[in-house]
Amino acid sequence: MSKQHPPLRNTLGIPVSLSAVLLFAALAWASDPPWKSKPYDRWDEKDIQRVFSDSPWSRLTPVARTWGKYSAKDNQQNSQLGGRDRGIPSSNDTSAENSTGGDIDFFVDWASSRPMRAASARKAILHGDKKDLDVEKYANEPQEEYQIIVQSKDMGPFMHRDEKFFQANSYLELKKSKQKISPSHVTYERDSQGVSSAIFFFPKKTASGDPTIGPAEKTVDFFCKLEESSLHVSFEPPKMVDRNGPSL
């Protein structure tokens, strides 16, 4: 009977076959997006930035600047102060110096999704704001409505107009059914410079209890009027999937 040779091992004492598996797993981890390959509580700064800038839940689009400067009276403060998840600097001074013209970039995020909530929570933890925050629990908290957040370094249109204006002048449009969904309400988050974010809330169900965005929908467009310009981005629900499945 031939003698069995022990499995080959690398310099760390790990069987070569196991070492190859671990290497393959590490390469897969590195190549796959974090929302599919890593637990939320393991995300680092690069993972967070990838969710914010290069994920199915995030869109960046230029909008022609058709609004002029705004004055201090437009910067109405309220008692609810909010932060800027992306760390976008304010450009109130720029807005005040220029009249109109040029393009301004707007970020539009599907904020009610698990990856977006996880990225916001991880950023708060890494930057020392909420060290004890349970990212997994926060990301998975049920959201009663879809939430879309709009941010830009120039939030002039939101200084000029209140939340009711944007509730009446924005909507989601489903490409397959052509149905338009109006927001139930819009809220502003503010910082020391004024409006930092505008959050649009959309119902998840119709009056009859059916989903407003059915599983057959491949594209959902978000439209919002900004003075004489329009903000328009498209989301693709089939791609909005993380480690736990579809997430809107």
Task: Summarize the confidence of residues 236-246 as an average pLDDT.
Answer: 96
Q: Which of 242, 238, 231 is nearest to 60 (CA)?
A: 231
C-alpha separations of 104 from 92, 101, 153, 196 in Å: 13, 9, 8, 15
C-alpha separations of 29 from 16, 24, 35, 118 in Å: 20, 9, 11, 18
pLDDT at res. 41: 92
DSSP string, 92-117: HHHHHH--S-SEEEEEEEETTSHHHH
Lowest mean pLDDT among 130-139, 185-194, 206-215: 130-139
pLDDT at res. 172: 98
Contact 151, 116 (CB under 8 A): no
For the segment 34-61, what is each residue's pLDDT rounded down to a tens digit? 999 999 999 999 999 999 999 999 999 9
pLDDT at res. 192: 84
Instruction: Report the chain's mean pLDDT, rounded to a whole number.
Output: 82
- Residue 39's Cβ-count burial label (10 Å; 0-12, 13-18, 19+) is exposed
For the segment 13-42, what is each residue's pLDDT rounded down to a tens digit? 545 455 555 555 455 445 689 999 999 999
* Residue type present at position 187: T
Confidence check: pLDDT of 237 > 90:
yes
Confidence of residue 193 (pLDDT cuts 50, 70, 90): confident
pLDDT at res. 248: 96
C-alpha separations of 150 from 45, 84, 108, 224, 241 in Å: 21, 11, 5, 10, 21
Task: Summarize the confidence of residues 101-129 as an average pLDDT.
Answer: 92
Confidence of residue 128 (pLDDT cuts 50, 70, 90): confident
pLDDT at res. 47: 96
Q: What H or E segment, with its residue span, contains residue 23?
A: helix 16-31
pLDDT at res. 132: 82
> How many other CB atoms sit within 10 Å of the CB of residue 33?
15
Confidence check: pLDDT of 74 > 90:
no
Confidence of residue 69 (pLDDT cuts 50, 70, 90): low
pLDDT at res. 1: 52
